[in-house]
Structure formats: structure tokens, C-alpha cells
Structure 1
Amino acid sequence: MNWKILLFSLLLLPVLLGLGCWQLMRAQEKEQWLQAYQAMQSKAPQRYDSLQAPPRYARVTLSGAYSPQGDWLLDNQIREGRFGYRVFTPFCLDGDDACVMVERGWIQGDLDRSVLPQIPAVPGRLILQGRADTLSDSYSMGPNEASTAAPYRVQTLKLEEVRERMSGQLASWVLRLDPDQPGALTPVWEPVVMGPEKHYGYAVQWFAMALALVALTFWKWRRGDSEDKNLEEAGETDIGTTGHG
């Protein structure tokens, strides 16, 4: 048997098994997230006026007003084949200098990068309802652009950068606004982008590839043994024929 093939199989097999196990872990994580999300949806919204983060996916209401200090546009957000942005606006709580970043939804962009969308303002005191969440890192197409005026277009939304451009305190969590709320735009947020069933499907594929690799290696091993045995028998036959001659 070709020992290079055996060595290649021994090196590749742990990689395939590891990828399959990783997909199983991701599927279990997604299931836990969905269970937590569904559990929170069955509870009534609670009024919240603290900078400390509530439980993830908790339904909360906030009283206050959208900050005039400007909107933030998360770049490169594609919806139904159309280019756009996800809009975030600070929402300042009543009787405090504390604000919470509110994800309002998606708005279509212009292919001319110099033209930014006009985001509808919602003045006055409001009561907002939505889901509490953490701000996860998004895939970045490049460094954040320097901007001196709102709306601020960014490749990755970072709360630290928002704090530098506004007065007052900013909470470490965000509110995913419900679709029927004041200031809501086109909803695009989902608790998970890829469901656990897809991760299970990918895991099956990786494990199937690992099984195929083992089967192919074993077949090659047996074939190599048979070829070696045939060569030995052919050699013995040649020697016996030569001796007779």
C-alpha cells in the first residue's frame, strides 16, 4: 500500500471528525438560544430603566426620547437582494442621562455611496417595547469610516465608539425594537441566522466524509495487500520456471 495515502488519511480523519463535532456543538448552542428566546416571549414586558443588562431576549419597555445626537448605520446589510443599512439610534431614558442603543430595523441604501438614507425622526417622549440583547460582532468589510456628522456609517457597530460621540452614559446592551413601535423600520432581526437543523445537516456531511475516508483507506489497504501477494506469487513462479529451464 502507498504509505503516503495512509499518512494523509491519518492526518485528515481528525480534521473531519473535529468539524463534525464542532457543528454538533453549534447546533446545541442554537437550540439553547432558541429555548431562551421562546421562554422570554411567553413573559409580559417589564419596564426597565437601568444601564445594567436585563436577561437576554427579555421583553422590556423603555420611557424616554430618541437622542438628537444622531443615528448609526450598519453597512452592507442585504435584504431580498437589495442593499441597505441596519439603523441604530440612542434612546435616552426619562429623568436620567442614560441612553440605550435601539435597533430600529433596515432601510434601503443608495448605490451611490455618497448618498445616505434619510432616516425618519420621531420626536417627543415615547414608550418603546422590544427585546433586550447583546451587540454581537458583525462581519466587517473594512475599517470604520471617519465621519464628523450623523448619520454615522460604520462597518462594525461598537458601543465604545458611540460613547465617544455622545454625552451621557450608554448601556452595554441594545433594544431590538418590535415592528409596531414608534420609529420602527423594516424588521430584519432574527434570534438565530442559521437554525440548529442546518448545523446537524453539516455535521452529518462531515461524519459521512470521515466514514468514506476510512472505507476508502481500508479498501486501498486490502487492494495493496492483494497486489503485493500477487507480485510475490508471480515472482515465485518466475523463479520456479527459471529453475526448470
Structure 2
Amino acid sequence: MKSSNRLFDILIAKRIVATVSALLVIAIGCGAGIWQLNRAEGKIALAENLAARQQMPILNANAAVWSLEEAGERRMIARGRYIPEAAVWLDNRPRPIPAGGAGNTAQAGFYLMMPFQLEGRDEVLWVNRGWAPRNNERRESLPPIETPAGIVNIEGLVFAHPGKVYALGTEGDNVDPNKPRIAQNFDLRRESLLHGWVQAPFILRLEESGVSDGLLREWAPLTSGVDRHYAYAFQWFALAFAGFVFWLLSGLRQYRPGNVVNGDLG
């Protein structure tokens, strides 16, 4: 009993600062590890939900007024014409690489957001037509792409937005809505106010492949990065374990029963 009390005194009571520091490292490591695991599980659940919703009947944008709750993550077809003069180029977007594909994910470029006037309806649908590389020497130069003229049929997946990136400040109010422009992020509500037209409350990410228009549409799966989250979680848990082991061993080095005389440390 006395031995256990001495062990408690040496490991904890006489090492308050070391104990609190170790607990802090363990708490941070475990908390960050659990957060990384939750992020991985969230991506997997989102991908499973997307796969399930893609199996549902394909929606027709021209047939009805759809809400985001009804159409989100579902396949949709639309018929109409593009409005290229009002395009928005979203900057600092990494090149999309499909699962098992090869390419440089660090290559920066643009997502081309283009309004699509639905045939027979007074409604505009914003379309993410794909990715194009940026000219690193002339950053304001837009990539050459082709836009079909006249009425066309398109198909894709419905999302709330094309994804967001960190941006310093916001786009200025003095923009010409009738000219293509470069922006960091895309705001459906702001575009509606700028143009004064009726818009669908979502965007359509084009899924066409094999079309030579200067844009890439080999979208990465939503589970992309799951392995990285697991690796980060392992590193954080390892840090927590290392903190505990260091605290324990450094304390045990001071606990030597053979050096204890009359109940005191010698």
C-alpha cells in the first residue's frame, strides 16, 4: 500500500506540471485523431448517399420547378442554350483526378460556371461545365474553350454549389454581369441579383465525357482523401500514445524502491 502511495506521489503529486502537460498532449492527440476519423466517415457516408440518389429516376429540369431538397445529388437532364457572355471562371481550383487516374492534382486552374437558359421556361440553370488549366504567365488570360451554339441537351449531377475555396475579401460590386469574369467563389443569390433573372436553387455539374471543348470533367470521387484522413488519425493517436509513454517512463525512472530508506526517497 505504501509502495503504491509512493508511486502515486512520484508519478502525479510531485509532477503536477508534467502530468497536466501530458494530459494536454493526450487530449489534443485523441481529439484530433477522432476528428480525422469522423471526416473520413463523413466522406464515406456522403459518397454512399450520392451513389444511392444516383440510382433514383433522372430528373428533367424543363419539366418542373425543383427544389434543392428534391434534386440534390441526383442526376438531371436539361435542354436549352448556354449564355457564354455571363460566364464566371472560378479560380484556384485543382485539376480533378478520377479514382486510379494519373495527373498533377497540384495544377491550378478554373471551374467554368456558365448560365444555361432552359427551353420553354423563364428559368436559368447554372452549369459547372468543367475544369481548364490556368496560364501561369498571364493569370488574367482565360483558357480557350468551345461553347455549343443553339439548343443542346445536357446531363449531370445536382449540387448546392461548385465547392468553395478560402478567399481574401469578396468580389467587388462594380462588375459587368454581361462579360465573363474571374472570381474565387460562386454565390447563386448574388448572380440572381446581378442579372435579375429567375434561377434554379442549385447548380448542375456536367458529366459529359469525350467532348472536345477544352474542359476536363473527370471528377474525383467524393471519397477522395479518405486514406489521408486515416493516416492523419494514426499520427495524432501515435502522438497521444507517445506523450503518455514519455510521461510514464520519466516518472518511473524516479521510482526506485531500492533507493527508498525508511519510507523516504534516497
Bigger mean CA deviation after superposition, 208-217 or 79-88:
79-88
**TM-score normalised to the size of structure 1?**
0.82
Larger Rg: 1
**Which residue number corresponds to residue 3 of structure 2?**
none
Unpaired runs of at least 5, structure 2: 1-9, 96-103
Cα distance in 2 for partners of 1:124, 1:61 equals 17
Q: Of the candidates 170, 185, 191, which is equivalent to residue 199 of structure 2? A: 170
Cα distance in 2 for partners of 1:85, 1:68 equals 15
Q: 1:28 to 1:82 in 2, by over 3 A?
A: closer
Cα distance in 2 for partners of 1:60, 1:157 equals 21
Q: Look up the SS of the partner of 1:15 in the other structure.
A: helix
1:176-195 alignment to 2 at 5 Å? Answer: 176-180=205-209, 185-192=215-222, 194-195=224-225
Q: Could you list the per-position Cα deviations for residues 69-100 of structure 1 after superposition, in whole angstroms to 9, with x for gaps in the alignment?
A: 51110011243254421101011212222111
Bigger mean CA deviation after superposition, 168-177 or 183-192:
183-192
**Which residue number corresponds to residue 117 of structure 2?**
92
Q: How many residues align?
A: 236
Report the aligned-residue RMSD: 2.9
Contact 2:18–2:247, Cα closer than 8 Å, also in 1: yes
Unpaired runs of at least 5, structure 1: 239-245
**TM-score normalised to the size of structure 2?**
0.76
Contact 1:104–1:177, Cα closer than 8 Å, also in 2: yes
Q: Look up the SS of the partner of 2:86 in the other structure.
A: coil
Contact 1:132–1:176, Cα closer than 8 Å, also in 2: yes
Cα distance in 1 for partners of 2:34, 2:45 equals 17
Contact 2:37–2:233, Cα closer than 8 Å, also in 1: yes
What letter matches 1:34 in structure 2?
A
Q: 1:195 to 1:43 in 2, by over 3 A?
A: farther
Q: Look up the SS of the partner of 2:244 in the other structure.
A: helix
**Which residue number corresponds to residue 219 of structure 1?**
249
Q: 1:180 to 1:45 in 2, by over 3 A?
A: farther
Cα distance in 2 for partners of 1:51, 1:42 equals 18
Q: State the identity as a percent.
A: 26
**Which residue number corresponds to residue 35 of structure 2?**
22
Cα distance in 2 for partners of 1:117, 1:45 equals 32
